[in-house]
Structure 1
Amino acid sequence: MRVSIVYDSGFGHTARIAQAVADGVADVQNAEAMLMAVGDGPVSWETLEASDAIIFGSPTYNGLVSARFKQFMEDSTKAAWSPQKWRNKIGAGFTNSGAYSGNKLNSLISMALFAAQHGMIWVGLDLMRGNSRSNSSANELNRLGSWLGAVAQSNMDEGPEIAPISSDLQTAAHLSRRVAAIARQFGHKDLSVPQEKMSA
């Protein structure tokens, strides 16, 4: 079973999260991760079509996904959207920004809508919010309290070897393990939907 991770990273922080996502996939038996950085050139549409799940990742800049990730989304129109090649695939997403909020939710919503337009099945986090009590800490999973996808925060004066912190990486890995497990579950089912005839 293959889970492809399509992501952009401006300064290496989101790439570090993408690696954590790949590590999470590898924790699931008989699952393999395929990392695709959109900044490295055209992605392999054939590989994405053959994948059981696709996880999208982008930094959040000005409350939006990056320009390169947006270009990937637009390029998919001819390659995958028109023929609906990703229909019924499992999808999920992650994002990162320097601010604790940074309107990261907007990036996740754009990814989820993108997946919906492709007929994909979106998977969110199944974690309770962390770091939300006086006796809790930033070391808890889902410390930023997101459910639509995994979010992370990286201090702008720290490189990717330091930021984001371990709990954000572990949260991303948790999401990808869930995606791989659900993709395996759905892989044994007939997801075909009868097409209704259009009335004249």
Structure 2
Amino acid sequence: MFKRVAITAAVLLSLSAASYAQPDVKTDVQRSPGQTTATGTAKVNATITAIDAASRKVTLKTQAGKVVDMTVGDEARNFDQLRVGDKVAVEYTEALTVSLKKGSGASTMQEREISERSEPGAKPGGRLGREVTVVAQVVKVDKEKNIVTVKGPRGHTVDLLVEDPEQMKAVKKGDRVQAVYTEAVAVSVTPGAAK
């Protein structure tokens, strides 16, 4: 499950025009008693080589030498602040934290949007994303196969393979599992070197 974080980050970046940039991808898994967190981050850096203000199109050249045309949507503030030579950084982050919660309680799901934009007058940039938190009931524990079956708020069951035997020891039927999934894309623009 945790390897999917890095794969998903790479796939999502490959779907965008920035995919030609050969992103720098990093993954990490942290474990502590009753909790595991997996993160994946992909970064792409480019330089603005041309700007068509009428169509809001910018041409970017990545560090790998690839040239990409991108249209900047109307929701991006301060388009007029862009200059040829400015540096553009795009960072895509995914994180999944799974925690064991002892005792019974309701299954729930909550989603929160993440949205930040640059201030008026600054270089364009911002961050968009979402965070989904699901609490599910443990309905079955198979210690021989290291599989925990959980039932979510909509009544669906999912089998989770627990790779760490120490984590498996603490799980009991009736416990709850909380999963927090976060994904976000951040774009920042910094002035290029003065000529």
TM-score class, shorter-chain normalisation, is under 0.3
Q: TM-score, normalised by structure 1?
A: 0.27
Q: Which has the larger radius of gyration?
A: 2
Greater fraction of residues in helix = 1
Greater fraction of residues in strand = 2
